[in-house]
Amino acid sequence: MARLCKSHSIPDSACTTKAFIATSGVDKQHGLTCFRFSEAQVKQKAMAKTQKKILIFDHTKLKQIHSAYIGQLDEFDLIVCDRAIPEDFRIPSERIWRK
């Protein structure tokens, strides 16, 4: 089991149709990162056990790098951000959703 926090975990048998993954850092070279390795491990496991991966972050996370690696932008089926993502990130527009 991957530990979600001191009292929560994701069972090895869990499978979902959608996983919503939030991140603390989005960098075109270093990928998606967060502050805690335990958090990154749970997010990686959720990504591996789902049919559709949806990344959610706000513009303040762009060009931020933290210690725990989650994955790469191209691993996600849909990316949700509150502002336009810079073109140099080279994300196909059909994978980006903005309000």
Q: How many structural domains compose the chain?
A: 1
What pLDDT score does 47 carry?
94
In a domain, 60, yes or no: yes
Q: How confident is the prediction along the chain (99 residues), in pLDDT tens digits per residue? A: 555 555 456 667 778 899 999 999 999 999 999 999 999 999 999 999 999 999 999 999 999 999 999 999 999 999 999 988 888 877 776 667 766
Give dist(CA 43, CA 11) in Å, integer: 13
Q: Does residue 43 form part of some domain?
A: yes
Whole-number Cα distances in Å, 81 to 19, 54, 72: 16, 11, 16
Which pTM value belongs to this model?
A: 0.81
Identify the CATH number of the domain in which residue 84 sits: 3.40.50.1360
pLDDT reported for residue 15? 82
In a domain, 6, yes or no: no
Give φ, ψ of 42 to 5 degrees.
-65, -40
Residue 9 is assigned to a structural domain of this protein: no
- Say if 29 falls within a structural domain: yes
Q: Which domain holds residue 36?
A: 15-97
Tell me, yes or no, whether 1 lies in a domain: no
| Phi, psi angles (nearest 5°) of residue 83 | -135, 170
pLDDT of residue 16: 86
